[in-house]
Amino acid sequence: MISAQQLDALDPQTRQVMLSLMAELRAKDALIAQRDQEAAFKQAMIDKLTHEMAVLKRLKFAATSERFASTLAPEQKSLLEETLEADLAELDRELDRERGQAKDKTEKKTPKRAPLPPHLPRRDVTHEPTDTSCGCGQPMQRIGEDVAEKLDYQPGVFTVERHVRGKWACRCCQKLVQAPVPPHVIDKGIPTSGLLAHLLVAKFMDHLPLYRQEHIFERAGHLIARSTLAQWVGECGAQLQPLVQSLADELRRHVVLHADETPVAMLKPKHLSDGKTHRAYIWSYCTTSANPTKAVVFEFCETRSGENVREFLKLDTPRAWQGTLVTDGFGGYTATTTKGVTSAQCMAHARRKFNDLWANHGSEVGRKALRYHQCLFRIEREIEALPRDERRQTRQRKSRRVLAIFHRWLLAQRQMVPPGSATMKAIDYSLKRWRELTRFVDDGDVPISNNWVENHIRPIAIGRANWLFSGSLRAGKRAAAIMSLLHSARINGHEPYAYFKDVLERLPTHPASRIDELLPHRWSPAT
């Protein structure tokens, strides 16, 4: 570049030419710089789109081929019919409970039930009075019996359980004694607790809709109409509701909880004709894996609003829950932090951002970030069986050092990556949430990730392909309630069928004040 002294030494004409050339060079330099910026921006955009395309391709191969069509298929219509029948049965039971008495026999004439098939095996269960001696001193004599047949089920085999109630009478004083009718979860119904337990486990854990169970029962030798199965499900849902509420109350007694949500399709009344669905959500809340109390509660909601979490945790009431909530990075959970809840976020979610970079592009930044995460999770595996205080001490001694180096490295890399790139977004995800992501270091009860609750919510994602949709808000809430008990029983090491069979047998006579004895983490089989 020519200096000002050199320009002054030139004659006027030459100086004018040089100035013109210098101005042209400056303009070209500015244009080149602008083009470089545009090229960098376009390259960043290309990298971003390439990354998103790679992620979508991976998701595409994992997607199922079953889609919800614009019109309802016959199987889908049957699901809606099941929902309506179950809703009506549940409403009837709730109305009876509010009235405080059973329906009068004259209020509604029940249709005559067809006799159970004679070819099914029978097993007699006798019920006799404990005392068959009359007050006059004469022994009573058996003069007859009443027989009520109930339909029982073992997987693949129907049997008939005959409840024989002997009648005893005194000839001298005409006194009649007979054992009372044993209480049942469905009054005057034919299903035993075993059949109802199988029905609920198959529908809500094995993801078998009622129309499929209808075909299975028919092959086993007895056809049960879907409408009848749906009524049984609805009545069981109403009877189990106090137990589910007690489980939710138990969950809110713990100071560290997981939370997550997953979408499900739900039909709304205005969309019944066109078959369109509404995007609803099942929220999952559970205790941590280190907590000796193993419990999970599902809640069905129409929206993804954070107000659902506030309502479940009762944050707007005098009994507001206070503790640490472990979640992913979804912004809806911030609705709880304004009410005194401490937020702890999932390190596994931050790790996935870098894993996508490494898996899709072989990114060196992604690879190095994964090494830091690998070190952190290795420490967690080593201390998972230790007491709370020892976990915290180890985290303070080891994990804190790794996190300090990792944080400095992220800040340095952030200055070198182009804006708008997938790498920048992965780094920013961690940096913006660093305080919440590292909350586990200072509290031995707080886990490093939210994987524990994600494992519980995974069966719901598996079942969506068979549910296709939830037929109503009430049906969704009923399904969430029953699944809460089933999966809580499973994570406590109980066989879900055995748990439900025993609970349904004991529930009609179990005191309401001791309902918590039937919770999965406190339950023990009746002796």
pLDDT digits (tens, 9 = 90+) for 140-192: 999 999 999 999 887 678 889 999 999 999 989 889 999 998 888 888 889 99
What backbone phi and psi angles, to 5 degrees, belong to 139? Answer: -70, 140
Tell whether 466 is covered by a domain: no
> Within a domain: residue 404?
yes
pLDDT tens profile 58-97: 555 544 433 434 445 555 556 666 777 787 788 877 777 7
CA distance 368 to 402: 13
By residue range, what is the domain housing residue 385? 347-449
Can you give the length of the chain in residues? Answer: 527
Question: Does residue 491 lie in a domain region?
Answer: no
The whole-number average pLDDT for the span 243-266 is 94
Is position 89 within any domain?
A: no
Q: Is the pTM here over 0.95, yes or no?
A: no
Quick count: other Cβ atoms within 10 Å of Cβ 504?
A: 23
Domain contains 395: yes
pLDDT of residue 35: 86
> Per-residue DSSP letters for 182-242?
PP-SSTT-SB-HHHHHHHHHHHHTS---HHHHHHHHHHHT----HHHHHHHHHHHHHHHHH
To the nearest whole number, what is the mean pLDDT of the chain? 85
As for how many domains the chain has, the answer is: 1
Confidence (pLDDT) at 65: 39
113 within 8 A of 80, measured Cβ to Cβ: no
436: tokens are: 């919440």
In a domain, 386, yes or no: yes
Residue 421 falls within a domain, yes or no? yes
The pLDDT tens digits of the residues spanning 309-351 come to 999 999 989 889 999 999 998 988 988 888 889 999 999 999 9
Q: How many CB atoms lie within 10 A of CB 243?
A: 19
CA-to-CA distance for 267 and 280, rounded, in angstroms? Answer: 9
Owner of token pair 């005057």: 188
Would residue 502 count as lying in a domain?
A: no
pLDDT category at 104 given cuts 50, 70, 90 is low
